[in-house]
Each structure stands twice: as structure tokens, then as C-alpha cells.
Amino acid sequence: MKKIVLLTLLIFNFSFSQKIIKDINLSKLIDETSGLEIVDGQFITHNDSGGDPKLYYLDKNGKIVKERKIEGVKNHDWEDLTKDDKFIYVADMGNNYDTRKNLSIIKIPIDFNNYLKPEIIEFDYPEQDDFRYKQLSQFDAEALISIDDFLVIFTKNRKTKKTDIYTLPKLAGSYNAKKIGSLDTNSIITGGDYDQKNELLILTSTISFDEYYILKIENFSLKNKKDYKIEMYEIPIGKTQVEAVKIIDSNTFWITSEDEKSSSTARLMKIKL
């Protein structure tokens, strides 16, 4: 795969035409919701670091209808999940202070009733050679998407407020993640989703952990690109913690936010731009 050269134009959109059109309170069992997928009409989410190694399946009203414990793994710091036609991939790659050496993606069958042992895709960032504690970390990540035979990671780079893009194969093993480019997002990436048919990449982000944003990037692919236009929309819900997004169509998305002081529970919301 050739390396992407990315020149980005960031367009700030503060028109506030974007609206929350559905707002659902979630169970206290998932107060740190950090990922979001949809399988067979049900939402799937999970908790952040230290939670049980479980996926929670929700109905259209946000009610938990079943729990799926992943045997033989821990929730060190689960930060996102994605899927393809056969598998779900859970990103145990939270690395708040650049100190972790056990980053991994957990691969399980998409079929809830398939009890095969999970496969583990272990990885590191070959550019990282310093694992001392850093407040402004560069090798944290909270966004994972699937494109063809690759998993694609978007880092949460507090130091530069850019996101570096890495790829991994979908096969169990230990790998050096391959850096293929970066995006000048002018913010810190907290979640992501991808519509491969329409080549639409959606990321969530924050600048100062007070407001959160949706970043819309059209015509995104793993092929060479000269530039990308990034449209940035503030999520109009005040101080919260948005870490997951799921595309409905090019202007409508599901998002989740963690339980914060500004709300009584974690929330599942539909936003329209």
C-alpha cells in the first residue's frame, strides 16, 4: 500500500443548523459507552477502561436486550468497535499517557451464538520508542474503522491536535501498525465510522474537552489522495463526552456520550446536520 499524502482544508461550521432529533437515556450499566455499532437492527456498545469485557446489545429505545461476555480477555481500555460481514473488532487501544505496551484489537464472530474463542491482533506503533508518562500523549487512539482487508486506526494526538492514520491486517498476530498518513483535524479524535460504499468518513472530536464535534470527510479511501476537505460541526449538547458515532446517512448519525455531570445517564442521540 502506498503512503497517503494528505493536505487538509478545515472548514469550521458554526451555523448551529445541526440538531439533536432523538435523545435516549441509557442504562447505568453502560455509563462509559465508548463505541457504537449496529448489527441486525440492534445497537452494540461497550464500556471504557476497567469495565467488564462485555458487549451490550440495545433495542431501538436504548434498552439492553442481551449481554455478550468475551471470554479470555480483559477490558484494559476499550475505546471503539467496528465490523465487517463476518466479524466484530473491539479496540483495546486506549493509551492516555503513552505508557501501554499491550495494545490490541479483539476479533469475534459477528454471530452472537458463535462461541469460537476470540482472536487477538496485537500491535504497536513503530514510531514510539519512549513509554514514559506524558500528559500530551501522541499514541493514544479512540477511533477504529474497517476498510476491505484492513483495520484503520485514527490516533488521539493531544500534542499536535492532528490524527495519524495507521493500518493493521485483520488476521490474528503481532504487528507493527503501518502509518499511512495524517489529517490536520485541529482537534483530538474520540470516535469514528466509515461508509465504504459512499467513501464517507465521520469522526468525533474535541478541542478542550468542553465541546465535541462531528468531522465530515468525503471521498476518503486508502488510495492516494491530494487533499481532503474537513467539515466541522459542533454537537449542540453542551459539556459532555462523545466517544462513538454511527453513520445513518450522509447528514444523519447516531452518537453516544458518557454519563457526565450535565446529564443523569449516558446517552444515545441521533444528530442531523
Residue 7's pLDDT is what? 54
Q: What is the mean pLDDT of the chain?
A: 92
The answer to whether residue 134 scores a pLDDT higher than 50 is yes
Residue 239's pLDDT is what? 83
Residue 4's pLDDT is what? 45
Mean pLDDT, range 207-231, rounded to an integer? 88
Residue % of the chain over a pLDDT of 90: 85
Residue 49's pLDDT is what? 87
The answer to whether residue 180 scores a pLDDT higher than 70 is yes
Mean pLDDT, range 32-58, rounded to an integer? 95
In angstroms, rounded to a whole number, what is the distance separating the alpha carbons of residues 55 and 87? 13
Is residue 234 exposed (0-12), middle (13-18) or buried (19+ Cβ within 10 Å)?
Answer: middle
Residue 108's pLDDT is what? 98
- Give Cβ neighbours of residue 197 (< 8 Å, ≥ 6 apart): none
Residues 205 and 216 sit within 8 Å (Cβ to Cβ): no
Confidence at 262, pLDDT banded by 50, 70, 90? low
Tell me the backbone φ, ψ of residue 118, rounded to 5 degrees: -65, 145
Residue 3's pLDDT is what? 46
CA 253 and chain centroid, separation:
14
Q: Spell out the domains of the chain, with CATH numbers in brackets.
A: 7-272 (2.120.10.30)
> Which of the pair, 56 or 264, is modelled with greater confidence?
56
246 grid coordinates: 454511527
The answer to whether residue 63 scores a pLDDT higher than 60 is yes
Residues 166 and 155 sit within 8 Å (Cβ to Cβ): yes
Range with lowest mean pLDDT among 104-118, 164-178, 226-240:
226-240
Confidence at 34, pLDDT banded by 50, 70, 90? very high
Residue 12's pLDDT is what? 57
In angstroms, rounded to a whole number, what is the distance separating the alpha carbons of residues 220 and 217? 7
Confidence at 59, pLDDT banded by 50, 70, 90? very high
Q: Tell me the whole-structure pTM to 2 decimals.
A: 0.94
The answer to whether residue 58 scores a pLDDT higher than 70 is yes
Partnered with residue 2 across adjacent β-strands are none
Is residue 194 exposed (0-12), middle (13-18) or buried (19+ Cβ within 10 Å)?
Answer: buried
Residue 32's pLDDT is what? 93
| SS3 label, residue 78 | strand
The answer to whether residue 175 scores a pLDDT higher than 70 is yes
Confidence at 11, pLDDT banded by 50, 70, 90? low
Tell me the backbone φ, ψ of residue 220, rounded to 5 degrees: -85, 130
Mean pLDDT, range 205-217, rounded to an integer? 93
Residue 1's pLDDT is what? 43
CA 133 and chain centroid, separation:
23
CA 51 and chain centroid, separation:
17
pLDDT in tens, 105-115: 999 999 999 98
